[in-house]
Amino acid sequence: MQPPAARLTLMDRLIQEFDRGLRTVAAANVAARPNPAGASPESVTDPVARRHAAGLMRVNHAGEIAAQALYHGQALTARNETVRRSLLEAARDETDHLAWCEQRVRELDSRTSLLAPIWYAGSFAIGALAGLAGDRTSLGFVAETESQVIEHLESHLHELPPDDERSRRIVEQMQADEARHGAEARTAGGRDLPQPVRDLMRGTARIMTRTAYRV
Ligand SMILES: [Fe+2]
Ligand SMILES: [Fe+2]
């Protein structure tokens, strides 16, 4: 018989998380919701445009790897059970995002970031630290992350090839989901983070997005 989750030791939970991390990075992720690209036809044919779109969607895929890891790191160290559950619920939407981006990158005949294990491990550690700072700070971290992600996705809507309807539909759905995650975190008591922390988050994200575009 499985021990109840509450009685799992920290070591058990770390092993569970390691296993989840491996599966997120290595296995094909399955979305619970249909791909927003739907039946919209493939319209990007120019090789340069396809390569650029693939780079952008690879960045978004890396971002979703990071999002998964942040949420699970935060859930690991969350104090309050309701907060923990809401973090895990948001992480389920991120699995959809991950699967959709992965699918789009492959449609564009490209591959996801080779550095995915690094994005996962680094983000998991950051998430766990945010959780240790207390639930209201951790929720504030979700709200700030999501608002930066929404801005980033908006820039991709400008940068993607104008005719890339399939990528655009995915990015738009992600934006809507991230807005909901951010609003929920704020309503649940997320507090504003100090400006230096926000700047640090932005800087870290910039390193990841620039690298994942290429590698
Ligand atoms: Fe996401
Ligand atoms: Fe999110």
Nearest-angstrom CA–CA distance, 71 and 88: 7
User: Could you tell me which of 171, 176, 163 has the C-alpha nearest to residue 40?
Assistant: 163
Q: How many angstroms separate the alpha carbon of residue 103 from the centre of ligand 1?
A: 15
Q: What is the pLDDT of residue 6?
A: 57
Q: What is the pLDDT of residue 159?
A: 95
Could you tell me where the DSSP H helices lie in 33-189? Answer: 47-77, 81-107, 116-132, 135-159, 165-187
Q: What is the pLDDT of residue 2?
A: 55
Nearest-angstrom CA–CA distance, 121 and 119: 6
Q: How many angstroms separate the alpha carbon of residue 79 from the centre of ligand 1?
A: 23
Q: What is the pLDDT of residue 102?
A: 93
Q: What is the pLDDT of residue 196?
A: 86
- Average pLDDT per block of 10 residues along the chain, 215 residues long: 64 80 77 91 92 95 92 92 90 92 94 89 91 91 93 95 95 96 92 87 86 87
Q: How many angstroms separate the alpha carbon of residue 91 from the centre of ligand 1?
A: 8
Q: Ligand nearest 152 Cα, by number?
A: 1
pTM for the whole structure:
0.87
Nearest-angstrom CA–CA distance, 176 and 188: 18
Q: How many angstroms separate the alpha carbon of residue 146 from the centre of ligand 2?
A: 6
**In whole angstroms, how large is the CA radius of gyration of the chain?**
17
Q: What is the CB neighbour count within 10 angstroms for residue 60?
A: 27
Q: Ligand nearest 184 Cα, by number?
A: 2
